[in-house]
Amino acid sequence: MLAMTCQIALAVSLPIYLDWRSSLAYSIYDLSDHTSSKLAELYKVNAGIDTLFANGIRTRLELSNEEKRLVSQVIIKHAIIDYICEDYEVQLSIQDYGYGKVFFINNRRNDHPFYDQNALANYRWHGISYTQKLSNHSLGLGVGSNDVNIFLSDLNYRFKLNPVDLQVFGIYAHKDSRYTTIKYHLGYDATVAFKNWQLRSGYVFEHIPEHKNIVEMDGWHLINELSYSINDNIKTIISIEHQNQLAKSETDHLYEACIDLKYKKLQNYVGLNTRSLPDEEAITYFLDLNFHPVQDLVLGAFFDYVNLSKSNDYMKFGLQTRFRMK
């Protein structure tokens, strides 16, 4: 039905698009008393209007499916109205608001929980924001709310001049979703690209002040990715992630090395990563095989072998598909 609707809209020249993302993964666990397995499915469909622009006003809309047990419902992923002038911009929006969206480690595979999501800070936002532009600099201020966090505000500064794109931000949430008290965020989101090199880096510091029965807590999250393109068909990516969550003494870490290989319509990701788990370490050797038969269509298969320091190893394999129609 979505595809038919998109075709009708395309016939009248509306900028309609449809995104399909799916994954079917099967994990095999070799336990001491019996063999166990797990099947995981993911189906995500996003459809919307990319950009309508008239008289300085730009509108964007996206609908998405949300799975709850055996029921699927349609939700508003984002609805955005921008009033754009030469030196400033005003935005009214309903959206997932935050920073750290395009890290490779989160978007290599369809079923990653942070695929196309804000990894550093993320809130559901209903609000208004104002951005003042001055040459290569911009300063933004936003206020919003939602039913969980009650009141939100964001202050950010951005400097963009090739090859540097730097954004510094601060977010205030009147209620943390878990501890139901004030929470502050302070961090940066940056990209530096030079010739065949690209560095992507993001950091956020979180602070909850002492309040009634809540003790003072701090947390932080750092992601760094460095990529180097040897040529059009070979690229290497090194990713490092450290996170110290609120009320947790240990720091979680992830180190990943990946080689991106392309040959005609084939694309392969080969690599390994090591990550901290509760009371042990896990090393994952992965192989992703992706086939691009036509533009905007990807058919893929993947395989993981996970070596655990204190538990038995296990394997995971599956299929995934991505498709975009516009």
Domains of the chain, CATH where assigned: 2-325 (2.40.160.10)
Residue 293 pLDDT greater than 60, yes or no: yes
Residue 206 half-sphere exposure, CB side, CA atoms within 13 Å?
22
User: Rounded to the nearest 5°, which phi and psi values hold at 241?
Assistant: -135, 130
Q: Residue range 149-178: average pLDDT? A: 95
- Range among 43-57, 164-178, 243-257 with highest mean pLDDT value: 164-178
pLDDT of residue 299: 97
What token pair was written down for 92? 């009214």
> Which residues are within 8 A (CB) of 282 and not within 5 positions of it... i.e. 6 or more apart?
274, 275, 276, 306, 307, 308, 309
Residue 30 pLDDT greater than 80, yes or no: no
Residue 16 pLDDT greater than 60, yes or no: yes
Sorting pLDDT into bands at 50, 70 and 90, what band is 32? low
Q: Which of 30-39, 189-198, 250-259, 306-315 has the lowest mean pLDDT?
A: 30-39
Q: What is the pLDDT of residues 299-312, one digit of tens each?
A: 999 999 999 988 88
Neighbours of 11 (CB within 10 A): 9
SS3 state of residue 107: helix
Give the dihedral of Cα atoms 297, 301, 307, 312; nearest 10 deg. 130
Residue 68 pLDDT greater than 80, yes or no: no
Cα–Cα dist 240/227, whole Å = 12
Q: Residue range 178-188: average pLDDT? A: 93
DSSP assignment string, 237-268: EEEEEEEE-TT--SPEEEEEEEEEEEETTEEE
Q: Residue range 102-129: average pLDDT? A: 94
Q: What percent of the chain has pLDDT over 90?
A: 72
Residue 129 pLDDT greater than 80, yes or no: yes
Cα–Cα dist 29/303, whole Å = 14
Looking at every residue in the chain, the average pLDDT score rounds to 91
Q: Residue range 138-165: average pLDDT? A: 95
CB 143 within 8 A of CB 152: yes
SS3 state of residue 169: strand
Sorting pLDDT into bands at 50, 70 and 90, what band is 317? very high
Sorting pLDDT into bands at 50, 70 and 90, what band is 231? very high
